[in-house]
C-alpha cells in the first residue's frame, strides 16, 4: 500500500497506537504527519509505504482545533489529567478574542516533544523537572463559540507546532477537551481508515507539472529538468506522483522521488 489515510483519532490512544493499528491493517511502512497527544481527538494524517517520504511537506501545514477550556485553574499538564497548581482570575471574552497574531508560548510539559532525547510527557510522568523550550507560533484566527465562565469553547486556526494547551495556560486555565478539525486542506469529516488516497492527492497545496515519458524516466533517476517554478513542485506522469522537485534558478531538482 502506498498513499495517504485520513484518520479520526479518538481521545485516549497515542498517535503511535494509531500507526501500529494501520500497520497491522495494511502492512509495510506507516508514519504520521503531526502528532496528536493522547488527550486529543481528531484528524491525523497517516502515510503508507513510499508515501512516508512526503511527510516533510505535510508537517508544516496550518491546523484548526476546537477546544473547551476550564478557566480559573491552571494544571501541571495544561489539561484535566494534571494537578491544579494555581487559581487565577478569569479573563473577559474580549481579552480572549484579542489573543491573535504571533505569540511565544512554552511547550507543555506533558507534550510529545522530545527533551534530551526523551518524550516530555514521559519525563513529566517520571517526576523529572525539565526546562521547557519556548515556541513561536501564529494564531491566525480565534473564535469564541461559547463563553460561559468558568468554561469557554474556542475554535482556533493556528500555525504548525502550536500547542493549544499552552494557549489555555496563557488564559489561566486548562483544556478539558481538544479536537483537531483540519490540517491544511484536509478535514476530519473526510476521515476514512478504509480508504487510501494516492500520493498525488496528499499534495493538493503544491503546484503540479505533468511529465512526458522521457521526463519521467529522467526524474526517476534523480535528473533535474528545466522549469520556471520555484519551491516544491509535484511532478506526475500517467496520474501518478513521480517525485517532488524544488525549483530554483530555472531548474527543477528532484528531492523526493517515489519511483
The pLDDT value given to residue 226: 96
Residues 160-168, mean pLDDT to the nearest whole number:
93
Q: What is the CATH number of domain 63-183?
A: 3.30.2350.10
The pLDDT value given to residue 129: 59
CB-CB contact of 47 with 30 (8 Å): yes
Mean per-residue pLDDT over the chain, rounded: 92
Going from N- to C-terminal start, the domains of the chain cover: 3-61+185-201, 63-183, 206-257
Q: Which of 37, 79, 157, 169 is catalytic?
A: 37
Among 37-51, 121-135, 234-248, which stretch is predicted with the lowest mean pLDDT?
121-135
Query: What is the pTM (predicted TM-score) of this model?
Result: 0.90
Query: Are 3-61+185-201 and 63-183 the same fold in CATH?
Result: yes
Topology at the third CATH level for domain 3-61+185-201:
Pseudouridine synthase (3.30.2350)
- Annotation marks residue 212 as catalytic: no
Residues 199-227, mean pLDDT to the nearest whole number:
96
Model confidence at 21, in pLDDT bands (50, 70, 90)? Answer: very high
Q: What is the CATH number of domain 206-257?
A: 2.30.130.10
Q: With 0-12 CB in 10 A as exposed, 13-18 as middle and 19+ as buried, what is 97?
A: middle
Helix (H, G, I), strand (E, B) or coil at 185: coil
Residues of the chain with pLDDT > 70, as a percent, come to 90
Amino acid at each position: 500500500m502506498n498513499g495517504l489515510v485520513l484518520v479520526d483519532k479518538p481521545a485516549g490512544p497515542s498517535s503511535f497506537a494509531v500507526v501500529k493499528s494501520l500497520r497491522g491493517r495494511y502492512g509495510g511502512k506507516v508514519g504520521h504527519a503531526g502528532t496528536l497527544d493522547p488527550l486529543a481527538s481528531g484528524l491525523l494524517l497517516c502515510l503508507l509505504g513510499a508515501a512516508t517520504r512526503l511527510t516533510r511537506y505535510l508537517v508544516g501545514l496550518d491546523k484548526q482545533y476546537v477546544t473547551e477550556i476550564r478557566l480559573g485553574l491552571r494544571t501541571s499538564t495544561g489539561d484535566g489529567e494534571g494537578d491544579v497548581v494555581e487559581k487565577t482570575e478569569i479573563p473577559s471574552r474580549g481579552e480572549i478574542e484579542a489573543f491573535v497574531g504571533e505569540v511565544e508560548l512554552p511547550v507543555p510539559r506533558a507534550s510529545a516533544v522530545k527533551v534530551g532525547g526523551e518524550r516530555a510527557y514521559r519525563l513529566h510522568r517520571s517526576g523529572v523537572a525539565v526546562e521547557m523550550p519556548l515556541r513561536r507560533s501564529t494564531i491566525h484566527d480565534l473564535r469564541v463559540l461559547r463563553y460561559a465562565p468558568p468554561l469557554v469553547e474556542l475554535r482556533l486556526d493556528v500555525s504548525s507546532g502550536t500547542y493549544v494547551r499552552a494557549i489555555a495556560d496563557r488564559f489561566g486555565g486548562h483544556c478539558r477537551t481538544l479536537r483537531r478539525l483540519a490540517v491544511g486542506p484536509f478535514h476530519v469529516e473526510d476521515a476514512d481508515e478504509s480508504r487510501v488516497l494516492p500520493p498525488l492527492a496528499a499534495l493538493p497545496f503544491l503546484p503540479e507539472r505533468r511529465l512526458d515519458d522521457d521526463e519521467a524516466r529522467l526524474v526517476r533517476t534523480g535528473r533535474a529538468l528545466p522549469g520556471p517554478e520555484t519551491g516544491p513542485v509535484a511532478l506526475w506522469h500517467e496520474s501518478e506522483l513521480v517525485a517532488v522537485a524544488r525549483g530554483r534558478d530555472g531548474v527543477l531538482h528532484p528531492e523526493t522521488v517515489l519511483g
